[in-house]
Structure 1
Amino acid sequence: GFLDGDDLGSAQAAALRWRFAKTNGGEPVINQLKAFFDAGGIILGICNGFQLLVKLGLLPALDGQYFERQISLSNNDSARFEDRWVYLGVNALSPCVFTRGIKHLYLPVRHGEGKIVPLDQSTLDALENANLVVLRYIDPATGHPTMEYPLNPNGAANAIAGLTDPSGRILGLMPHPEAYNHSCNHPGWARGETAELGLTLLEGGVRYLHAL
């Protein structure tokens, strides 16, 4: 997390480095990333990794326009670092291979720049129409997406917490599934509270690859 201290904005410096870096043999690193994806690879970006995928233009890749910036992530509306657990709803119509069979998640967020900002309203509409919005911050009392703080910790447009690309093989999200890999990670575990493990999302990617 916090690549280069986020000094130029979250993951901005890293995205520029990836775009222009070359291997010892002189091949652009970005070409290797393209080859990996074109060969059927899957890509997961969590928090700062999500910010990197967005700054590289790998997400959301509307109309198959990979490596073209279409959205960004900006400072939380609270103007502070948010460290809390959030409720998430999963879009069952999304093509995302990681979230198949998952309906809800309860995961921690730990970020200062998690607010998704689309280029314009038409971009936001296109995300919705293509079902590229995978995860949303929801109100557990209603199960509906919410813009209310702190349930929505950053004020992201349409309560968006995670996005996929048209292939469904790239997933980026601000919450941390890897931080909930055992029941004792749950903040209410001592009271017997539990929820779908974040590890389930990671296992979804593995199941997809095993099925190939």
Structure 2
Amino acid sequence: MEDDGMINVCILRIEGTNCEQETYDAFLELGANPHLVHLEELKHQNLLDYQCLMLPGGFSSGDYVRAGAIFAARIKSTVHATLEKFIKMGYPVGGICNGFQILVELGVLPRISEHPEACLSTNDSARFECRPTLLKLENHCAFTQKMDIGGIYEIPSAHAEGKFVSPLIDELVENNQVIFRYVSPEGEYAGYPWNPNGSPYNIAGICNEEGNVFGMMPHPERAFHRYQNQDWTRNGSGAHGRLFFESVLEYARRL
């Protein structure tokens, strides 16, 4: 891979991944050099040739067994050692929706561990929840540096297994690893329907302690353009997801 000064982004996919094109388009529009890479292709490449790794949304391998479990198992059997090296070198790794589930199943969120220390469980409603959600930024990480602490961002959610469950939740809160929390239009930490899945503490996204590995259930790639916001013609809002991609590219350029 040629070093032309652009940020090379690996957008990793397998069968059932279905948000890779939107993720690719977002990075491309911002001047990065994104690559759609199937896991079988990555076996013959070097992950360290990239400066950012993204695991997009979808239903990888049909979400059989558990959401993200099969994709995670296949990564473990192929490029897991290189992935851990990639993370320890400080490169950003992001997981959106199914990607978040994969990172947790891999044992790289909320920290590197031999076995998963968290899971994204079935929504309390026991059904697929798909609608705009409001997120309050609690802390910064590699993917949020262009956002404002305390700011509220409208990012759509679409998942059936998004309830974050972990014995480490109190530790994550104390360590400022909780990045986004679901809120109501008034900015309150409210229950359903504002919290679409029943996550404790209204958790919508977390990072590792170093801040370079991040997972969130809502889809920033579906809020990249202003016209994707339901109220963009009324109040001029929108494009909140664009800040996610701008942030990680700014972070990667400083490495």
TM-score norm. by structure 2 comes to 0.73
| Deviations 1:170-189, CA, capped at 9 Å, x for gaps | 11000000111111000122
Aligned amino acid, residue 102 of structure 2 = L
Change (3 A) 1:166 1:182: same
Q: Could you say which residue in structure 1 is the equivalent of 2:189?
A: 145
Does the alignment pair 1:16 with 2:73? yes
Contact 1:104 1:196 in 2 (8 A): no
Contact 1:132 1:163 in 2 (8 A): yes
TM-score norm. by structure 1 comes to 0.87
Does the alignment pair 1:199 with 2:249? no
Does the alignment pair 1:43 with 2:90? no
Does the alignment pair 1:80 with 2:127? yes
RMSD: 1.4
Identity among equivalent positions (%) equals 38
Distance between the aligned counterparts of 2:85 and 2:146, measured in 1? 29
Q: Could you say which residue in structure 2 is the equivalent of 1:132?
A: 177
CA positional deviation for 1:67: 4.5
Aligned amino acid, residue 108 of structure 1 = P
CA positional deviation for 1:104: 2.2
Contact 1:47 1:174 in 2 (8 A): yes
Contact 1:105 1:196 in 2 (8 A): no
Aligned amino acid, residue 33 of structure 1 = L
Does the alignment pair 1:70 with 2:117? yes
Aligned amino acid, residue 122 of structure 2 = N
Structure 2 unaligned regions, length at least 5 = 1-57
CA positional deviation for 1:38: 2.4
Does the alignment pair 1:116 with 2:160? no
| Deviations 1:19-65, CA, capped at 9 Å, x for gaps | 123xxxxxxx111212222222110100000000000011101xxx4
SS in 1 for 2:179: strand
CA positional deviation for 1:191: 2.7
SS in 2 for 1:78: coil
SS in 2 for 1:86: strand
Distance between the aligned counterparts of 1:175 and 1:79, measured in 2? 18
Distance between the aligned counterparts of 1:12 and 1:161, measured in 2? 20
In structure 2, which of residues 190, 213, 217 is the aligned counterpart of residue 170 of structure 1? 213
Aligned counterparts, 1:2-13, within 5 A = 2-13=59-70
SS in 1 for 2:240: coil
Change (3 A) 1:67 1:184: farther
Distance between the aligned counterparts of 1:193 and 1:83, measured in 2? 23
Aligned amino acid, residue 184 of structure 2 = D
Distance between the aligned counterparts of 2:247 and 2:92, measured in 1? 11
Distance between the aligned counterparts of 2:250 and 2:72, measured in 1? 29
Distance between the aligned counterparts of 2:114 and 2:247, measured in 1? 25
Contact 1:114 1:174 in 2 (8 A): yes
Q: Could you say which residue in structure 2 is the equivalent of 1:89?
A: 136
Name segments (4+ residues, structure 1) moved above 4 Å.
none
Structure 1 unaligned regions, length at least 5 = 22-28
Distance between the aligned counterparts of 2:146 and 2:226, measured in 1? 20
CA positional deviation for 1:68: 3.5
